[in-house]
Amino acid sequence: MDQITMYSMSRCGDCRRAKQFLRERGVAFREINIDESPEAEELVLHVNQGFRKVPTFEVSGRYFVCSPFDPYQLSEPPRVITSASSRPRGRKSGSISPQGPPGARPPA
């Protein structure tokens, strides 16, 4: 399974619900609190067209926001929760930002 990074904030109810959802399903993820990391906050602003939206997820170099929290969004393509044999296919309209972190090359 691809590494999942969740960008969050301390007082974010959607972030708490997303973390609980992932933990209940045994999904490993790395959490980065943008209140404590100016670099992470800059990345979140960049991939969300200047908006400070959390939780923002990074999976395989692709970013999407799950705010307001929607458990179905975390289970639909591009899947955050996948079985070992399945891979993300396609994209849900409006849920993926094709932009990577600042300075990254555009996807081929």
pLDDT digits (tens, 9 = 90+) for 29-38: 999 999 999 9
Residue 108 lies in a domain: no
Write out the residue range of the structural domain in which residue 5 sits: 1-103
Q: How confident is the model at residue 80 (pLDDT cuts 50, 70, 90)?
A: low
Lookup: tokens for 87: 């891979």
State the sign of the Cα–Cα–Cα–Cα dihedral 64, 73, 23, 33. Answer: positive
Look up the CATH number of the domain holding residue 49: 3.40.30.10
**Identity of the amino acid at 66:** C
Helices (H), 28-98: 38-47, 71-75
Number of domains in the chain: 1
pTM: 0.69
Burial class (CB in 10 A: 0-12, 13-18, 19+), 81: middle
Residue 42 lies in a domain: yes
